[in-house]
Amino acid sequence: MKRNIRFKGKLRNYLYWPMFLTVLLIMMNIPMYFYDIYCGMMVSGFICVYFIVEMVFFYKCRPLLVNEIINYATQYATVQKRLLNEFEIPYALLDYNGKILWVNEQFSELTGADRNYHKSITSLFSSITKEFLQKNERPKEVYVEKNDRKFRISLNRIYFDSIAGEGEFLEIASSEEFLTAFYLFDVTELNRYMVENQEQKQITALVYIDNYDEALDSIEDVKRSLLIALIDRKVNQYFSQIDALVRKIEKDKYFVVFKYKYLKTLEENKFRLLEDVKTVKVGNEMAVTLSIGIGINGDSYNENYEHTRAAIDLALGRGGDQVVVKEGEEITYYGGKAKQVSRNTRVKARVKAHALREIIVSRENVIIMGHSLTDVDSLGAGIGIYCAAHVLGKKAQIVINNPTSSVRPLMECFSVDKGYPEDLFIDSETALEMTSRNTLVMVVDTNRPSYTECPQLLERTDTIVVFDHHRQGSEVIENPLLSYIEPYASSACEMVAEVLQYVEDGFKLEACEADCIYAGILIDTNNFMTKTGVRTFEAAAYLKRSGADVTRVRKMLRNDMAAYKARAEAVRRAEVYRGVFAISVCPGEEVESPTVAGAQAADELLNIIGIKASFVLTEYQGKIYVSSRSIDEINVQLIMEQLGGGGHLNVAGAQLKDCTVEEAKRIIKRTIDEMLSKGDIEQ
């Protein structure tokens, strides 16, 4: 056997170097014959003796050297095996079918399987099956639990042909079979430390009183300090239960720090503080509401605080009385059941008007757009902004791609004959050509980029202004130069009407312009029956003074016979779910504006005794449009947010894709059931 073993590589070169030296000596000996034959013969004799001695030693010592190498290799392999057996990491070797071939001491100690245990690895870990091991695309690491311990299993394939190499005396046929090196890591303690580390992280929260001034104004002066003290006590008591640090940074603002492990407790009781603080009554007619913003899992304390600031801004932008938890891009909402409180002061509107004026004056032109499927409120708000830009000497255009029958009568009022530019209304392609970095893009009646008539416009300019009355969601227009979002407002037209009064001294609307803005308020308030406040009527009064005529507006807003029949059919086909929810489908085949008819049908369903909320589905352009309405008991905005939409407490909507009308109805019913079971809404 030893004769068949041949040396290779550096060892062979090292043993053969005397033979190579013999060749060199012969080459040196040849020239010596030309100088002295006697000396040449002596050297030749020496070379012969040297070669004979070298060959004798080589062949006599070669077996001894092989024995030494084999003995060393054997001892080295024994040391390796011993080290592997005493390896601190539990280790096992499995065959192709998952049968245990060999285990080390640590593996035996941890699993109870000794060296004579040659069963399948599945008997120890049920999730590690033969099929799993033989998968071509299986994970290299697996996490399992056994005897209340958690393990990380690392699997490494060892193919026979890769370890055999090109041996001279061992040949193994190529095969797809393999061995599996099985490493077992106990990560129970590591996971516990990681959980503890996560739970000990500090979380920052901001707590704002939404209606501080309004609540104080509703009580006597001597009771104001008592109301403030009771609110402070409620806030401190609530957070003291979780060992939190609470500091009052302003008269109506609190800064809170607590550990991450307590966040789950707050979420489980759905931030009971929101409801507790409403019970504070010392003669105040108005219930106090809070907004809370929480930022978590940032890479630093500063990043956590930035998340907290963004969360509280979002909570306030959605109307208050809610908690917003922001974790990176993921946002969770709690609360938001109370009706938004309308502030009677118009200071904010005046400030926004002055800021808008400065922005318009500093820009080359103005492009105005609302949401897709432009409605009367979106058009009226756009006309109002056009008027502001026109009086300031700037060219303004409104983006409307496919005007429907609901807005076409209003658009016809702004013809060239009446002194309006021919390109007042443009489509998306024209708008993209007209927009540059120095263009103001004004977004009205929506704050979601995907809902706008032309989302690409938002990328063409550095100046974006947003005016909207819908609650904000997780999808918002990024980096607007000016954002005016007031969920308490009845409509975008109401907000624009307020702003127009401060844009320019002596500014006066034309009658048709006032009609259009007034129509937007009229539609969104359902003839002043929903979401109306003091400022709604003040805006309407301003428009009336500017020449708005109710009769003209009513004529322009009349429906055709097909739309009226569709609305009546939706009411006729309504299904009452759980005794208080009306769900129906509005046919839209012969209706030019089926979504408008659907919204009107949802309003009509609320006139039925016992109906607390209505949902009307309309299939249009490959989507299912859901219009939802309520009077005061059900917050339909929370329901629509579960479907990816939004809106207000009493008026909301959503768009569903890739589903049929029947599937959409089942989704709405399932959402209602889930929210009722969780207590998010009450029947």
Query: Cα-Cα-Cα-Cα dihedral of 316, 317, 318, 322, to 10°?
Result: -20
Give the span between the Cα atoms of 582 and 332, in whole angstroms. 28
Residue bearing the bigger pLDDT, 646 or 468: 468
Q: What pLDDT was estimated at residue 170?
A: 40
* Mean pLDDT, the chain, whole residue set: 84
Token couple for 194 = 């990681």
Q: What pLDDT was estimated at residue 77?
A: 56
Encode 395-407 in three state secondary structure. EEEEECCCCCCCC
Q: What is the pLDDT of residues 461-493, one digit of tens each?
A: 989 999 998 877 778 888 899 989 888 888 999
Give the span between the Cα atoms of 242 and 294, in whole angstroms. 15
Give the span between the Cα atoms of 276 and 238, in whole angstroms. 9
Provide, rounded to the nearest whole percent, the portion of the chain with pLDDT above 70: 89
Q: What is the pLDDT of residues 63-88, one digit of tens each?
A: 666 666 666 555 555 665 666 666 67
Instruction: Say which range, 199-203, 300-304, 346-350, 624-628, has the weakest mean pLDDT.
Output: 346-350
Instruction: Say which range, 16-20, 248-252, 284-288, has the weakest mean pLDDT.
Output: 16-20
Q: Are 663 and 620 in contact (CB under 8 A)?
A: no
pLDDT at 437 over 60: yes
Average pLDDT, stretch 513-533?
89
Q: What is the pLDDT of residues 261-283, one digit of tens each?
A: 999 889 888 899 998 998 888 88
Most confident stretch, 237-251, 272-286, 333-347:
237-251
Instruction: Say which range, 1-15, 212-226, 347-361, 490-504, has the weakest mean pLDDT.
Output: 1-15
Average pLDDT, stretch 184-206?
86
Q: What pLDDT was estimated at residue 470?
A: 84
pLDDT at 172 over 90: no
Token couple for 650 = 């009493």
Q: What pLDDT was estimated at residue 345?
A: 60
Q: What pLDDT was estimated at residue 168?
A: 40
Q: Taking the CB of residue 179, how many other CB atoms lie within 10 A of it?
A: 17
Q: What is the pLDDT of residues 357-373, one digit of tens each?
A: 999 999 999 999 999 88
Token couple for 19 = 């033979």
Q: Are 192 and 298 in contact (CB under 8 A)?
A: no
232: confidence class by pLDDT, cuts 50, 70, 90: very high
1: confidence class by pLDDT, cuts 50, 70, 90: very low
Q: What pLDDT was estimated at residue 167?
A: 44
Label residue 548 left, alpha or beta by phi (over 0 means left) and psi (-120 to 50 means alpha): beta
Q: Are 627 and 616 in contact (CB under 8 A)?
A: yes
Instruction: Say which range, 149-163, 390-404, 544-558, 627-641, has the weakest mean pLDDT.
Output: 149-163
pLDDT at 175 over 60: no
Q: Are 637 and 647 in contact (CB under 8 A)?
A: yes
Contacts of 97 (CB under 8 A, 6+ apart): 120, 130
Q: What pLDDT was estimated at residue 52?
A: 82
Give the span between the Cα atoms of 48 and 30, in whole angstroms. 14
pLDDT at 672 over 90: yes
Token couple for 306 = 């930035």
Provide, rounded to the nearest whole percent, the portion of the chain with pLDDT above 90: 36
Query: Cα-Cα-Cα-Cα dihedral of 369, 374, 376, 378, to 10°?
Result: -30
Q: What pLDDT was estimated at residue 184?
A: 87
| ∠ Cα 431 434 440 (to 5°) | 85
Q: Is 339 helix (H, G, I), strand (E, B) or coil?
A: coil
Average pLDDT, stretch 377-398?
95
Q: Are 405 and 593 in contact (CB under 8 A)?
A: yes
Give the span between the Cα atoms of 401 and 372, in whole angstroms. 8
